[in-house]
Amino acid sequence: MERVDEAPGVATGYQEPDVDWHDLSEETLRRIVNDDEEVAGLFVSGVDAFADGQIDAQWAAAVGSAVGDIRRLRKLEIRHFSRWDEEDQWNIDWGIDDFALNQLNDQLNFDFLPGLARNRSIEHLAMVECHFLPNSFEIILPFFMHNHNLRCIEVHGCDLSENFPSFLLDLSTCATNQLERVHLYDNNLGGIQVTRITKPWLSIAN
């Protein structure tokens, strides 16, 4: 295990899977459903859920189901499922208001994450600028505990001050855990919280 930190930078040692990234589209979704071997890297953005400023109510469930079933996906990045912030330029650029963002957050937590929880192929999971509810990590705990292929977790720009990722403590005692890197950056974690995460992993490393 390399490190758990709350600082920028890339740890040495861990090598990301060398796969091509695919933005989510109808064609990509069809290929995921068909378990196309070329779809090994997937980038999912909250913006994908909108068409002409309106949110697709079925979008997150369909994508979550596909991600849960695919066996060849190795890298997944989930981005921009954030709370409303008037200073958030991407919200302004895409014309997304606070009501739509609240819907999007609900879709992430109640429709997409249950699908992700079933996945057992992802090696590298990145979650960037996402708003997690108090039970979000409980929903996806099976992914972290039972995905023996998981090597790297990245969480960037997510406010975890009131939603401590206790699954990291569970992983430190999981006999089948193969994690090599956990990277936490700009998540509004305090020193005590970081220490709680770091201490079990330091004991393993020693």
What pTM does this model have? Answer: 0.80
Task: Count CB atoms within 10 A of the CB of residue 116.
Answer: 24
- pLDDT attached to residue 37: 83
Q: Which domain holds residue 27?
A: 21-205
Partner residues linked to 128 by β-bridges: 79, 156
- pLDDT attached to residue 2: 40
- The CATH number given to whatever domain includes residue 78 is 3.80.10.10
3-state secondary structure of 24: coil
Residues of the chain with pLDDT under 70: 1-13, 50-54, 83-102, 165, 167, 169-177, 192-206
Dump pLDDT digits (tens) for 71-80: 999 999 999 8
Calpha distance 2→205 (Å, rounded): 8
For the chain, the C-alpha Rg in angstroms (whole number) is 17
- pLDDT attached to residue 11: 44
Partner residues linked to 156 by β-bridges: 128, 185
- pLDDT attached to residue 64: 93
Dump pLDDT digits (tens) for 89-135: 545 555 555 666 667 778 888 889 999 999 999 999 999 988 888 88
Whole-number average pLDDT of the chain = 77
User: Looking at the domain assignment, is residue 94 inside a domain?
Assistant: yes
User: Looking at the domain assignment, is residue 198 inside a domain?
Assistant: yes
Taking alpha carbons only, the member of 100, 101, 95 closest to residue 83 is: 101
User: Looking at the domain assignment, is residue 81 inside a domain?
Assistant: yes
User: Looking at the domain assignment, is residue 143 inside a domain?
Assistant: yes
Q: Which residues contact 58 (CB under 8 A, 6 or more apart)?
A: none
